[in-house]
Amino acid sequence: MKVFVSSDMEGTAGVVAWEQCRAGQPEYAHYRELLQEEVNAAIEGAAAAGAEEFLVNDSHGAMANLRPERLSGHARYLSGRHKPMYMMQGLDATFDAVFFVSYHGSMSGGSSVLSHTYNPLAISEVLLNGVPAGESGINALAALGYGVPVVLITGDDTTAREVEPFCPGVHRAVVKTSVSRFAADSMHPLQARELIRTAARAAIESLPQAGPPAITLPATLEVTFRNADLAEMATWITGVERTGTVSVAMAGEDPLRLFRTFVTVVLLTRGIAE
């Protein structure tokens, strides 16, 4: 049994500030350790239920936050930037389950610690089939393309709610409750890890009842940018149409192609946004 783990960082218990999850900042070393242990907890819970093979795609920042030798389950480690499939790089149809670990809420949703949708400097909202979608919902398109169920998400309470329309029945480990974008009530790290282990084990044990993401095809992604220049640049990509001064839309029957188009929009607009 193979499990694909896409790990972010903002959803880790205790994380409430950008400085805590940006390499080079004084507090980063401490909080990357907390992330490492939450990723390991997810792997350990899955292994207890019979999972045997793991691939961890480090999907935060420069995508080199974890220590490979300390990953549980002898997990393979996919790290580094410029991945064509970004947070879902490495996933294919040979996997049995997808885990989203330490995820966060969308830019336009309810209060969620360090909320953003791929790039907070460029994107203010994304709708998937008319429903507000964070990174979890968008990334579920890739899982749908390969027919692999998303069975676990960890992070705050807002993140857990946002994924439900796209992955109904997903097991959720809510390790903190967001008070605002920069404040949260977090579980003690030891308790957070135990909750993640328990949820991961339950997710794998209930895998026979799980199905791929519930996203109706053809699907449409509507993206609202922070300024008109970004929207104009996005239309340089085939299949992306302007729908308003700061908004564009893209649609398709193939969820993988749609996901790749969105990622290309993100990468193309990143330069002007930053």
Known binding-site residue numbers for Zn(2+): 8, 10, 60, 104, 135
List the binding residues. Answer: 8, 10, 60, 104, 135
Is 116 an active-site residue? yes
Q: What is the 3-state secondary structure (H, E, C) of 225-269?
A: ECCHHHHHHHCCCCCCEECCCCEEEEEECCHHHHHHHHHHHHHHH
Which of 30, 74, 82, 116 is labelled catalytic? 116
Q: Which residues on neighbouring strands pair with residue 56, listed in sequence order?
A: 5, 77
- Tell which residue, 225, 216, 259, has the closest CA to residue 239: 259
Instruction: Count Cα neighbours of 27 within 13 Å in the Cβ-side half-sphere.
Output: 10
With beta carbons less than 8 A apart as the criterion, state whether 143 and 88 touch: yes
Torsion of CA 211, 166, 116, 148, to 10 degrees: 20
Q: Coil, helix or strand for 3?
A: strand
Type of residue found at 195: L
Say how far apart CA 234 and CA 238 lie, in whole Å.
Answer: 9
b vs e for 213-240, b when ≥16 Cβ sit within 10 Å of the residue's Cβ? bebeeebebbbbbbeeebbbbbeeeeeb
User: Which residues form the catalytic set?
Assistant: 116
